[in-house]
Structure 1
Amino acid sequence: MDSENISLKAKIMRQLINMATSDHLIGPGIKKGTFRRRMVEPPWKCPAGYSVLDIKMKNFNMEILTPPEVNSECIVLQLHGGGYIGKMRNVYRSFAKYYSDMRSGMKVLTIDYRVAPENPYPAALNDALTAYGWLLGLGYKGHNIILAGDSAGGGLALALSEYLRDNSIELPAALVLMSPWTDLTASGSSYETNYELDPLFGNTRESMIYNGEYIGDNEPDNPYISPLFGEFNALPPMLFQAGSIEMLLSDSVDAAQKAKEAGCDVQLSIYDGMFHVFQMALDILPESQQAWQEVKEFVENIEEKD
C-alpha cells in the first residue's frame, strides 16, 4: 500500500480533512487547537454489557471501562491526545472499548489529565504518575499495566516510562504509541519534508505542534517534555504507529531508532499515505482496521505474569 494506492475511503477522508483545515472559518481553529478547546460533543453511550466507573482524583478525573467478562490480569492505562491543550473526548471512550475487547476482556483506565495553558508541564506528567501509582496501590503490578497513548498522550506515556525508570518505580508491561509527540522542539526531518503534505498541521507555523503553552518556562528538550531526548535503556516493549504524511512522523521514527539502539523490543509501523492518528477512524477505514488489528496482536502477545 503506497500513498497512491490507499483505500478509496482513506482518500475521501483525507480530502475532507484538507477541506476542513483549509476553511477560513474553522480551519485555523482546527490546526491551532482552539476548536478542540470548545468542542461540543453528543453524550457518549456505554455499550450494552459494559460498565463505566467515574473516579474523582484531587486534580483530575478518571474512568474505568469494564467489559462484560474480564479474563486478563492486565489493565490498560490510556493517556489521550490533544496537544496538551485539549481535554479528553468521546473518541477515547471508543478507544477504551477497543482495548477492553483485547486479551479476551480487560479493564481500561482513561484519565482526563490537566492541560495547558492553565496547567503547563509538569501537570500532565504528575497526573499520569498519580494514576499509575493508583493502579499500583490497587494491587496491580507494573508488568500487568499496558500504557497506551496517541499524539501528546503517546509522548506522555513514553515520558512517564522514562520517569518511572529514573525513579526506580516498576515499569509497565508495554507501550502502545500512536503517532506519539516525542519532540516538542519540532526538530525532526518530517517537520520539513511533510510540511506541505500533512492535512492537519501542515502549511502553517501556527498549528498546535508549535504551541509552547505546555512547555511553559521549561526547556523543550527536557526528556519529560520531549521523551525523544531521554534515555531509552531498560524500557518495556513498545509499538509505534505513524502515518507517512504526518509532520510528526520523525517523532516515531527517531524514538524507535533510539529505543532499538538501547536494546529495547521495538515495533515500528508506518502506514503509507496516512495522516496523524488515523486510528480515530476506527472501523471506517481499512487502514485503521489494520492498525487496530496490529495493536491487538501486539497486546495479546504480552506475557501475562502473576
Structure 2
Amino acid sequence: MAESEVSIRGRVMRELIAHVTSDNLIGRKIKSGELRKKLVEPAWKCPEHYVLKDIELKNCRAELLEAENPNNTQIVLQLHGGGYIGAMRNAYRSFAGLYSELGKGIPVFTVDYRVAPEHPYPAALEDAITAYNWILQQGWQEHEIVVAGDSAGGGLAMALCMYLKKQSRKLPAGIIAMSPWTDLTASGESYVENYTKDPLFGNTRDSLIYNKDYVQDNDLANPFISPLFGDFRGFPPMLIQVGSYEMLLSDSVSAARKAKEAGVKVRLSIYDEMFHVFQMALLLLPESKRAWAEAGKFLEIIRNGRGTGQKMHDTETRI
C-alpha cells in the first residue's frame, strides 16, 4: 500500500492516540505504563465453541484457549507485550482467539509471565521457558510450536529462542513478532527520526521504552534482554510486522536484517504511518486486518511446510 493509500480509519486512530497521549496527566500515565498497571477490566467473554482453561505454572499462571474440536496440528505460544511491567490483559485473550481462528482451530497458550519491578530480569524469560517446556510436556513437538509476541513479547520470543539455542535445544517452528522490542539500548535511528511521529512513545523520555525496572543493573545489550545483539544463526522462519511511525521501527528492521544475514527466512512488513502494535485494533482497521491475515498465512506456511516442502521466501514489504 502506498503512503497516499493509508486508510482514513488508520489515520484517525493514530491521531486519536496522539491526542489522548498529549494530555499532560493521562498521556504521561499511558506512555509510562502506569495507567495500564492500574487498569481494571471486565470479565472476558470466551468465544462460542471455545474453552479457556487456567493453567498454574511454577512461578506464574497461563491460559489455554482451545476449540471444542481443536486442530492439534499446531499450537501458538503467546507472549504478551507491556514493556515487561504490564501483565496479561483482555486484548491478548482476543489475540489468542484470532490466532486460533486463523490457524483453523489451533490451541493458543498464553503465559501471564511475572513482570517488573517486583520481578525483574530474568523472571519473564524464565517463565517463557517454563511455558515452552509445559507445551512439550503435554506431548507437543517443537516443530508444531509457533511462538508469537508483540512489543516486549516479540523481543521475549526471540530471547527465548536465543536461550534454547544456547542450551543446544530444538527451536520452535516459527516466530511471529509484532512491533518487537529487540533493542533496549535504544540505539536505532528511528528513536530519533520518529521521536515526534510516534503517537504512543514520542516526545518524551518518560515512557516504557526507557523504563529500566526490568533490566535494572544488567547489561542492556545482553541478547536475552536485547535479542538484536544475539546470534540468529539456526533461528526458525520469522514474520516481523511494524509501523513506519514507531520509535521501535529500527528494532524490527535491524533484527530482520541481522537474521537474514545469518541465513534465517524473514518476512518483514512495514505498515506505512502505523503506530506501535496497531494489530491491537484487531479487524477494525484495514491495516490491522491485513496484518492478521498475514499472520494467518504465516501459520499456514509453517504448518504446511512440514509435509509439503513449502518454504517461506525472504521478503521486505512496505504496506
- Superposed pair shares fold, TM > 0.5: yes
1:122-201 correspondence to structure 2 within 5 Å = 122-201=122-201
1:104-115 correspondence to structure 2 within 5 Å = 104-115=104-115
How many aligned residue pairs are there?
306
Partners of 2:78 and 2:96 within 8 A in 1: yes
3-state SS of paired residue (1:199): coil
1:4-15 correspondence to structure 2 within 5 Å = 4-15=4-15
3-state SS of paired residue (1:301): helix
Give the partner amino acid of 2:256.
Answer: A
User: Which segment is superposed worse, 52-61 or 220-229?
Assistant: 52-61
Partners of 2:190 and 2:246 within 8 A in 1: yes
Deviations 1:264-283 (A, max 9, x none): 01100000010000000001
Counterpart of 2:291 in structure 1 is 291
**Inter-partner Cα distance in structure 1 for 2:18 and 2:69:** 41
Partners of 1:72 and 1:104 within 8 A in 2: no
Partners of 1:67 and 1:101 within 8 A in 2: no
Give the partner amino acid of 2:99.
Answer: Y
Partners of 2:71 and 2:107 within 8 A in 1: no
Counterpart of 1:251 in structure 2 is 251
Cα distance 1:18–1:4, how it changes in 2: closer, same or farther (>3 A)? farther
User: Which segment is superposed worse, 95-104 or 185-194?
Assistant: 95-104
3-state SS of paired residue (1:302): helix
**Inter-partner Cα distance in structure 1 for 2:4 and 2:202:** 19
Counterpart of 2:312 in structure 1 is none
Give the partner amino acid of 2:286.
Answer: P
1:233-272 correspondence to structure 2 within 5 Å = 233-272=233-272
Counterpart of 2:276 in structure 1 is 276
Q: CA deviation at 1:3?
A: 4.1
**Inter-partner Cα distance in structure 2 for 1:250 and 1:231:** 17
**Inter-partner Cα distance in structure 1 for 2:44 and 2:298:** 28
Q: CA deviation at 1:91?
A: 0.4
Counterpart of 1:213 in structure 2 is 213
Counterpart of 2:43 in structure 1 is 43
Q: CA deviation at 1:179?
A: 0.3
3-state SS of paired residue (1:101): helix
3-state SS of paired residue (1:214): coil
Q: CA deviation at 1:4?
A: 4.2
3-state SS of paired residue (1:52): strand
**Inter-partner Cα distance in structure 2 for 1:176 and 1:223:** 18
Give the partner amino acid of 2:51.
Answer: S
Counterpart of 2:79 in structure 1 is 79
Partners of 1:2 and 1:273 within 8 A in 2: no
In structure 2, runs of 5+ residues without a counterpart are 308-319
In structure 1, runs of 5+ residues without a counterpart are none
Counterpart of 1:121 in structure 2 is 121
**Inter-partner Cα distance in structure 1 for 2:71 and 2:61:** 26
TM-score (norm 1): 0.98
3-state SS of paired residue (2:54): strand
TM-score (norm 2): 0.94
Counterpart of 2:61 in structure 1 is 61
**Inter-partner Cα distance in structure 2 for 1:269 and 1:216:** 32
Deviations 1:80-107 (A, max 9, x none): 0000000011000000000111332110
Deviations 1:239-285 (A, max 9, x none): 00000000000000000000000000110000001000000000110
Counterpart of 2:223 in structure 1 is 223
**Inter-partner Cα distance in structure 1 for 2:201 and 2:103:** 35
- Structure 1 vs Structure 2 CA RMSD: 1.1
Q: CA deviation at 1:72?
A: 3.5
**Inter-partner Cα distance in structure 2 for 1:159 and 1:148:** 12
Partners of 2:80 and 2:153 within 8 A in 1: yes
Q: CA deviation at 1:12?
A: 1.1
Give the partner amino acid of 1:243.
Answer: G
Q: CA deviation at 1:25?
A: 2.3
**Inter-partner Cα distance in structure 2 for 1:168 and 1:224:** 15
**Inter-partner Cα distance in structure 2 for 1:52 and 1:176:** 22
Give the partner amino acid of 1:50.
Answer: Y
3-state SS of paired residue (2:103): helix
Partners of 1:279 and 1:292 within 8 A in 2: yes
Give the partner amino acid of 1:42.
Answer: P
User: Which segment is superposed worse, 4-13 or 288-297?
Assistant: 4-13
Q: CA deviation at 1:71?
A: 2.4
Counterpart of 2:70 in structure 1 is 70
User: Which segment is superposed worse, 294-303 or 81-90?
Assistant: 294-303
Give the partner amino acid of 2:247.
Answer: M
Give the partner amino acid of 1:260.
Answer: K
**Inter-partner Cα distance in structure 1 for 2:148 and 2:141:** 16
**Inter-partner Cα distance in structure 1 for 2:283 and 2:75:** 23
3-state SS of paired residue (1:104): coil
